[in-house]
Chains A and B, each alone.
Chain A
Amino acid sequence: MKKGDFLVFLIIAVLSVALFLATFFKDDGKSLLVSVDNKPYKTFSLDEDGKHEIKTKKGINILIIENGTAHFENSDCPDKTCEKMGKISNVGESIVCLPHKVLAEVVE
């Protein structure tokens, strides 16, 4: 063991602690990307509760965001599958409304 070895250990330790703090305290900031007919419609932050109307040519979907989750309510589509798909909150999860061609997806 030489002096430089301890310097290497110190650098590794400091780097990993710094990276850990940087990634840990970074704001999660997940958001919901809504697209209609394959085109981006609007992006909502999952941190702000609210009720949004998504108007499409074929009808209206009501998007509810509360407590960091999102779900659809009272859509005037025929099959109501989007309502049955429940709440989404994790990155990559999505809700689809086929009749209205609406896709809501959680992104980072």
Chain B
Amino acid sequence: MKEKSQRLAFLSLLLGIALMISFLESVLPLSFILPGFKLGLSNIVILVCLKQWGFREALLINIARILISALLFGNVLSLALSLSGGIFSTLLMFFLCKCRGLSNIGISAAGGAIHNFAQILAAMVMLNTFSVFRLTPFLLILGGITGTFCGILAHFFEKRTNFSKNNRK
């Protein structure tokens, strides 16, 4: 019972942090670089959760975060785009976490790139056009860069907090 409520409290806290970061991102005026450009900072939380808790918890938090932030700041199109991106990036980052020889930075960079790639695919399906595919190379690189940035931040986040399953007392 105590286990369960502790898990609930920890996951809610992580979700709250992720939502706060989502809100800050939606306020940051970064759209001049590319329409809809975002740093994907909430990926930090997902990555930490993935490493400290596991795949199910990370996916749960990510989907909950996307649904809530779409309700608060987004629309239907942005919801579908971020859902596809979020699910695929969480999946890929989960598999990469199993690999040795990868630190947070590499995992996060790969996650950012696949996030953008999945969004392009979703946009292609929904808008029924092939022309957005031309953006893919730029978005891959941008996703890699923002992912690297988030990876560095996740490294510090992990170092200075103990959101760990094993650190519970």
Contact = CB atoms under 8 A, between A and B. Distances in A.
Interface in A14-50: 15-17, 19-20, 23
Nearest to B142: A16
Contacts of A58: none
Contact of B106 (A8, A13, A108): A8
B109 A12 contact: yes
Interface stretch (B10-18, B26-34, B131-139): B131-139
B46 interface: no
Interface residues of A, number: 20
Contacts of A11: 110
A17 B106 contact: no
Nearest to A11: B110
B85 to A, nearest CB: 16
Given A5-B105, A9-B109, A16 B131 contact: no
Nearest to B139: A16
B106 A4 contact: yes
Contacts of A1: 103, 105-106
Contacts of A12: 109-110, 113, 140-141, 143-144
Interface string B95-117: 00001111101110110010000
Given A9-B144, A19-B140, A2 B134 contact: no
B133 A16 contact: no
A4 B144 contact: no
A11 B96 CA distance: 14
Interface in A57-86: none
Most chain-A Cβ atoms within 10 A of its Cβ — which of B130, B131, B137? B137
A13 B141 contact: yes
B102 A4 contact: yes
Contacts of B100: 4
Contacts of B102: 2, 4-5, 8
13 contacts: A2-B101, A4-B101, A4-B103, A4-B106, A5-B103, A5-B106, A8-B102, A12-B109, A12-B144, A15-B137, A16-B137, A20-B137, A20-B138
The 3 closest A-B pairs by CB, nearest first: A5-B106, A4-B101, A16-B137
